[in-house]
Amino acid sequence: MLTPARRLSRAERGGAERGGAERGAATVATTRATDSHRGVSFSFDNKSQLRATVMAYAYLALAAAACYLLYRYVTRNFSYWEQRNVNGPRPVPLFGSLQASALRKRNIAVVFRDIYNQFPNDKVVGMYRMTTPCLLVRDLDIAKAILIKDFDYFSDRGVSFSERGLGNNLFHADTDIWRVLRNRFTPIFTSTKLKNMVYLMEQGGDRFVEYLQGLCAERQEQELHPLIQRYTVATISACAFGLDFDTIADKMHVLQKLDDIIFSPSFIDEVDMMFPGVLKKFNMDIFPKEISDFFDSLVTKVVTQRNGKPTSRRDFMDLILELRQQREIQGPKRSSEEQQRTLELTDDIIAAQAFVFYAGGYETSASTMSFMLYELARNPDVQERVIQEVDEVMMKYDGKLTFEALNELKYMEQVFDETLRLYPIVDPLQRRAQQDYQILGTDVTVKKGQMVFVSAGGIHRDAQYYPDPDRFDPDRFSPENASKRHPCAYMPFGVGPRNCIGMRFAKIQSRTCLAKIFSSFRVSGTREVMQDVRFVPRRFILGSAPLKINIIPRKL
Ligand code: HEM
């Protein structure tokens, strides 16, 4: 197609083709024509330019309107707390109060702790998880009411996702399924059952010390967290699945990969914050299929190896196989009218619990022990008291770490408690309201479906409960000092019916490992250890950025 400019040059050419005498006039005529054409062409160009400009403005206006609508949409709830006279941090469009954690700049526990600190005079703080209003509870009596006394209003954790695959696990499940699971799995974690597993942990501890001896003969400076993970992965694998320690050494790289997937949050969590319940509604998984495949095949293998029946190992798998023989498990019967909920104990349900015991069982303990060794390296006087206690107990029990021996490591228990005060690994605690609920001593109502948070980290470092809160001082947990405290002033394992089911296991596992380590080694700080710890932002739970300590053989 010819453009106007192109047509114009044809007219010019027509003029130019006329001969001799006409040429001068023709030239003038052509020039005029050209000028007049140029005039036409100008006005034609102006029109199309005008159209283009109008279109550009229209697009701009549309984009601005879309941005405005989007802005209105992602900030639509941001006056929610102001209208109810509840103080809180100024929300950021789209991210609400969680910009730093959503952009993976800070760990979520640290973000909640900072918000806790910003409002020292408020009992509750109004926040937004992305675009959705939620409440942070600062007051201990309110926390107690929500987590313990009025638990029935808050029995969901609000993290449920698809009920397929690993979804029906104890940590993520909503109340109806959770009640049945908790009812049947609690007896697996009693002291008597755990006592039977101490021998597995002790074996793991011995292997670990041998491994450390080999390592330290080459180099004393060691990276802390992966080292301890080796022990916790080995013990949980032995206690949960009956895997033996040599098999695990070969599988460390696979388990490391699983670790990255399980504990690195994907942005699907933020989507669920913006549209609460969307994951469950659309049956979406939060873990990739390779994780469920791994646990499915592990459970199938162990069940087959044991012919579907408990053995003499007395590990978690044996206890679950005992339950499996009943085929169905029941929830608690809470009143004569209430129908007792039952759940078929399928291999999927077993795999989901195996997964949560595994995931809960190694990483939380590994992080706790890493922080503990870090603090002991920085506080040599505390370390001396720990070593002295370990030596005394070991001597009393002829070098055998029995359940009774572990129970006598009282000072070590204080060190463990003080470590989790400073570094609560699973933080914040969270619950979802089952019904509208008026917050104790306030005129604030939490609406059905809204989330409520408690920042253990904020409370644990609050000077009104712990004077000089950043100082590491295990004497805060002497029996006299601990008994004076409010039940919600210390919550590293949560509190109430939905607290950590694995608390006793974690305590035994950590004590065994540390008693073994300090029987043979001391720890001392590297330059990094003398600095304050930095937390990994891209992790669900609280973990330190890589840290090295020196592990020095003791001269016995
Ligand atoms: C030092 C180690 C550990 C810490 C700090 C820890 C902390 C926690 C916390 C804070 C909760 C949430 C409690 C609440 O919402 O009130 C929790 C729940 C849970 N933990 Fe642990 N945990 C540890 C070790 C373990 C171990 C060893 C296991 C399993 C063998 C485990 C399995 C679970 C499970 C299944 C839940 C969900 C309980 C429920 O909803 O009924 N944890 N843990």
Spatial contact of 126 and 88, defined as CB atoms under 8 Å apart = yes
Q: Which atom of ligand 1 is nearest to the CA of 505?
A: 27
Nearest to residue 241, comparing CAs of 115, 107, 128, 350?
Answer: 350
- Structural tokens at position 427: 């933080």
ipTM of the complex: 0.99
- Average pLDDT, integer, range 392-408: 95
Of all protein residues, whose CA lies closest to atom 10 belonging to ligand 1?
Answer: 493
Summarize pLDDT for 256-309 with one digit per residue, the tens.
Answer: 777 777 777 778 888 888 888 888 888 888 788 888 888 888 888 888 888 888
* Alpha-carbon distance values, 294 to 65, 70, 251 (Å): 48, 41, 12
Least confident residue range of 43-52, 136-145, 184-193, 208-217? 43-52
pLDDT at 131 over 90: yes
Q: Which atom of ligand 1 is nearest to the CA of 356?
A: 35
Q: Which atom of ligand 1 is nearest to the CA of 181?
A: 41
Mean pLDDT of the chain: 87
Pocket of ligand 1 (CB under 6 A): 170-171, 182, 356-357, 360-361, 364-365, 368, 420, 425-426, 429, 492-495, 498-502, 505-506
Q: How far apart are CA 446 and CA 81, in angstroms?
A: 11
Summarize pLDDT for 135-179 with one digit per residue, the tens.
Answer: 999 999 999 999 999 999 999 999 888 777 788 899 999 999 999
CA of 260 to the centre of ligand 1 (A): 19
CA of 364 to the centre of ligand 1 (A): 8
The residues near 476 (Cβ < 8 Å, ≥ 6 apart) are 414, 417, 418, 421, 466, 482
* Alpha-carbon distance values, 221 to 324, 379, 523, 552 (Å): 46, 18, 10, 9
CA of 419 to the centre of ligand 1 (A): 16
Spatial contact of 136 and 127, defined as CB atoms under 8 Å apart = yes
pLDDT at 39 over 70: no
Nearest to residue 501, comparing CAs of 386, 381, 370, 359?
Answer: 359
Nearest to residue 427, comparing CAs of 102, 97, 118, 107?
Answer: 107
User: Strand 132-137 and strand 451-454: pairing?
Assistant: parallel
Q: How far apart are CA 129 and CA 277, in angstroms?
A: 13
Spatial contact of 459 and 488, defined as CB atoms under 8 Å apart = yes
Give me the DSSP letters along 368-426.
HHHHHHHHHHH-HHHHHHHHHHHHHHHHHTTT---HHHHHT-HHHHHHHHHHHHH--SS
- Average pLDDT, integer, range 27-54: 61
Residue with tokens 């992602």: 74
Spatial contact of 334 and 182, defined as CB atoms under 8 Å apart = no
Summarize pLDDT for 469-494 with one digit per residue, the tens.
Answer: 999 999 999 999 999 999 999 999 99
* Alpha-carbon distance values, 48 to 43, 51, 52 (Å): 9, 5, 6
pLDDT at 347: 83
The residues near 443 (Cβ < 8 Å, ≥ 6 apart) are none
Summarize pLDDT for 73-120 with one digit per residue, the tens.
Answer: 999 999 999 999 999 999 999 999 999 999 999 999 999 999 999 999
> Cβ–Cβ contacts within 10 Å for residue 21, how many?
8
What fold is seen in the domain 140-553? Cytochrome p450 (1.10.630)
pLDDT at 37 over 60: no
Q: Which atom of ligand 1 is nearest to the CA of 368?
A: 1
Of all protein residues, whose CA lies closest to atom 7 belonging to ligand 1?
Answer: 493
Q: Which of 30-44, 202-216, 516-530 is most confident?
A: 202-216
Q: Is 325 helix (H, G, I), strand (E, B) or coil?
A: coil
CA of 32 to the centre of ligand 1 (A): 90
Binding residue per annotation — 500? Answer: yes
